Amino acid sequence: MIEHHVYWALVGARWVDPVNFAKGPAHFFDGAPEHNREKLREDAQFRVAENYLLSGLGRHAPDDDVDLAVRSLFALSVQLGDKAYLMGSKPCGVDATAFGMLAGVLSPFFESACASAPRDFRTSPPMSTA
């Protein structure tokens, strides 16, 4: 759930969205030779967008992929409940994975439809649009 819905929604928000791509991932190629730089950016963005599509999440309508990610984040919040860690009293690998994804989703640097959802769970859980 974390590695599929949340991860790929994060990838879509960073790599497929042109504004976020320009703010972040496009800079991975700043050190490339100037005459190759733009082609490298285009090729990388195309390949990541293709993988996003192949992952399955990218085949959904834009709002639906975000809805799946938000529902997965809500399921994580339910699993966590009042516990300190997802699986009990000690941290484990899934806590690290969840933290990494949440940190990415909640980054104020990038625009994301998923970013406000975790803050809203206490007042209204996500509802299916289907």
Q: What is the pLDDT of residues 51-94, one digit of tens each?
A: 988 888 878 877 788 888 888 888 888 888 889 999 989 999 99
Other C-beta atoms closer than 10 Å to the C-beta of 21 total 20
- The answer to whether residue 97 sits within a structural domain is yes
- The 10s digit of each residue's pLDDT in 113-129 is 888 766 666 556 666 54
Within-domain flag for 129: no
Residue 25 lies in a domain: yes
What is the number of domains present in the chain? 1
Domain with 51, as residue range(s), is: 2-120
Taking only the tens place, the pLDDT of each residue in 11-43 is 988 999 999 999 999 999 999 999 999 999 999
User: What is the model's pTM?
Assistant: 0.80
Q: Residue 84: inside a domain, yes or no?
A: yes
Cβ atoms of 33 and 22 within 8 Å: the answer is no
Give the pLDDT score at 54.
87
125 found inside a domain? no
Q: Does residue 89 lie within any of the structural domains?
A: yes
Residue 127, domain member (yes or no) = no
Q: Burial level of 24, CB count in 10 A (0-12/13-18/19+)?
A: middle
| 128 part of a folded domain | no
SS3 of residue 88 by DSSP: strand
